[in-house]
């Protein structure tokens, strides 16, 4: 018998992924599907970053790397965080991880015991409940609604919090595009302090903010000692395949996690770390180049969708996605996504795959070139209006 702990990861099922796999089968059969369903950039990692990786590998950084990350990369990540948030941060606050996903796993492992309740916000990034289950904790959703632009309210936070161990948030948010306001972050901080929760803040989209500012809750009074920030080079630097991210937390939490990393991942490839350090050394220029197409396509989307009734955009303030409310068509998100795939060969994600709160919505990833993107969005709108 295999372990229940792993079987249980997907105990909640994987509803809504049928359309994704159906689209993949159609592509394998040679049908030209326009894929607006995955969070992968349409650009590649910048050649200068790849050259840095190549030189580091040829220069001999191919052996075991130090488990918590190289001192210089940890310092570069700490410097970036301090520059963005003003919170004093050093290399001792950083564990380098194989991507943000491993950071989410590590962060929950750091604070949750078997059977602890770990809160997360619905709609959510698809792996959240499974990641929580993988460490033996019990996921509990806090539902947000379109009426509050998918920002959690203090009342919802407070009613879920008693007895819980941790709260996982994600701003800018996948799938909704919500960027939590200062008031929302202050409510989150107040709830965490009142109910003694650890806060795990997934900030992998921190460079993709179209309206307002990204507020890191670690910068709010009293929060640095109870917050674990998860970051990544994947989305900010178009380095999804390099698998390099981090956890930023109080030093004693990082030391706790180094013990885990020593017995699991044993660190991240040295030449990848050197490339990440090079990329961070370029300052914001690479980040802005990578974010620019999404900023542009978000504007293009709003002009295509202006005045439409069958499809309404949830105001996306950040990230590379657009949530569309298709309730006026009378279809579920899944029904709409399937029908759109059949009629127009356009693949989107049904809202239901991101939780109960996103039912009646679809998520569009703005991850193909502008002309094809606008053409596909227009076809989607026409289809919904029919």
Residues at the interface with ligand PLP (CB under 6 A): 39, 99-101, 125, 170, 174, 202, 204, 232, 234, 240, 245
Which helix (H) or strand (E) segment holds residue 291: the answer is helix 284-305
CB of 303 to ligand PLP, least distance (A): 26
Residues 294-330 as b/e (b if ≥16 CB within 10 A, e otherwise) read bbebbebbeebbeeeebbbbbbbbbbbbbbbbbbebe
CB atoms within 10 A of CB 163: 9
Q: Least distance to ligand PLP from the beta carbon of 274, Å? A: 18
Of 327 and 363, the one with the shorter C-beta distance to ligand PLP is 363
The least distance separating ligand PLP from the CB of residue 319, rounded to whole angstroms, comes to 8
Least spacing, CB of residue 280 vs ligand PLP, in Å: 15
Closest distance to ligand PLP from the beta carbon of 170 (Å) = 5
User: Of the two residues 127 and 181, which places its CB atom closer to ligand PLP in the complex?
Assistant: 127
Q: Which residue is nearest to ligand PLP (CB)?
A: 100
Query: Considering the complex, what minimum distance in angstroms separates the CB of residue 37 from ligand PLP?
Result: 12
- Answer for the pair 234, 103: CB distance below 8 angstroms, yes or no: no
337 or 365: CB nearest ligand PLP: 365
Question: From its phi and psi, is residue 364 left (phi > 0), alpha (psi between -120 and 50) or beta?
Answer: beta
User: DSSP labels for 231-276?
Assistant: EEHHHHTT-GGG--EEEE--HHHHHHHHHHHHTTT----HHHHHHH
CB of 314 to ligand PLP, least distance (A): 16
Given the complex with ligand PLP, which of 293 and 310 has the nearer CB atom?
A: 293
User: 131 or 329, CB closer to ligand PLP?
Assistant: 131
Distance of alpha carbon 324 from alpha carbon 331, whole angstroms = 13
- Name the token pair of 325: 């409310």
Hunting for tokens 């579920």 — which residue is that? 332
Q: Please identify, using beta-carbon distances, which residue of 245 and 333 lies nearer to ligand PLP.
A: 245
Nearby residues of 327 by Cβ (< 8 Å), 6 or more positions away? 360, 361
Asked whether the beta carbons of 108 and 200 are under 8 A apart, the reply is: yes
Q: Which of residues 240 and 317 has its CB atom nearest to ligand PLP in the complex?
A: 240
Q: Give CA torsion, residues 305, 308, 310, 311, to 10 deg.
A: 20
Q: Smallest gap, in angstroms, from Cβ of residue 103 to ligand PLP?
A: 7
Coil, strand or helix: which one is 376?
helix
> Please, which residue, 67 or 365, has the CB nearer to ligand PLP?
365
């Amino acid at each position: 018998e295999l372990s229940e702990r792993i079987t249980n990861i997907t105990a909640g099922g994987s509803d809504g992924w049928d359309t994704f796999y159906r689209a993949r089968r159609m592509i394998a059969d040679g049908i030209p599907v326009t894929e607006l369903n995955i969070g992968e950039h349409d650009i590649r990692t910048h050649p200068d970053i790849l050259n840095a990786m190549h030189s580091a590998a040829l220069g001999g950084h191919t052996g075991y790397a130090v488990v918590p990350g190289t001192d210089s990369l940890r310092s570069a990540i700490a410097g970036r965080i301090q520059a963005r948030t003003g919170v004093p941060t050093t290399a001792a606050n950083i564990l380098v991880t194989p991507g943000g996903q491993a950071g989410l796993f590590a962060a929950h492992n750091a604070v949750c015991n078997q059977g602890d309740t770990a809160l997360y916000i619905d709609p959510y990034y698809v792996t959240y409940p499974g990641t929580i289950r993988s460490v033996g904790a019990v996921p509990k959703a806090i539902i947000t609604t379109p009426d509050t632009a998918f920002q959690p309210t203090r009342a919802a936070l407070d009613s879920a919090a008693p007895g819980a161990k941790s709260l996982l948030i994600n701003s800018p948010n996948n799938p909704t595009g919500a960027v939590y306001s200062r008031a929302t972050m202050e409510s989150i901080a107040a709830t965490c302090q009142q109910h003694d929760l650890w806060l795990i803040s997934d900030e992998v989209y921190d460079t993709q903010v179209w309206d307002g500012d990204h507020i890191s809750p670690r910068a709010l009074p009293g929060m640095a000692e109870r917050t674990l920030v998860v970051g990544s080079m994947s989305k900010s630097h178009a380095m999804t395949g390099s698998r390099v991210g981090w956890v930023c937390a109080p030093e004693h939490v990082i030391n706790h996690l180094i013990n885990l990393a020593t017995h699991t991942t044993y660190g991240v490839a040295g030449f990848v770390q050197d490339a990440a350090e090079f990329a961070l050394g370029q300052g914001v220029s690479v980040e802005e180049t990578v974010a620019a197409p999404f900023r542009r396509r978000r504007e293009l989307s709003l002009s295509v969708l202006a005045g439409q009734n069958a499809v309404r955009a949830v105001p996306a303030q950040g990230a590379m996605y657009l949530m569309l409310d298709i309730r006026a068509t009378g279809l579920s998100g899944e029904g709409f996504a399937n029908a759109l795939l059949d009629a127009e060969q356009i693949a989107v994600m049904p809202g239901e795959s991101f939780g109960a709160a996103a039912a009646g919505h679809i998520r569009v990833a703005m991850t193909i070139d502008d002309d094809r993107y606008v053409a596909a969005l227009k076809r989607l709108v026409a289809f919904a209006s029919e």
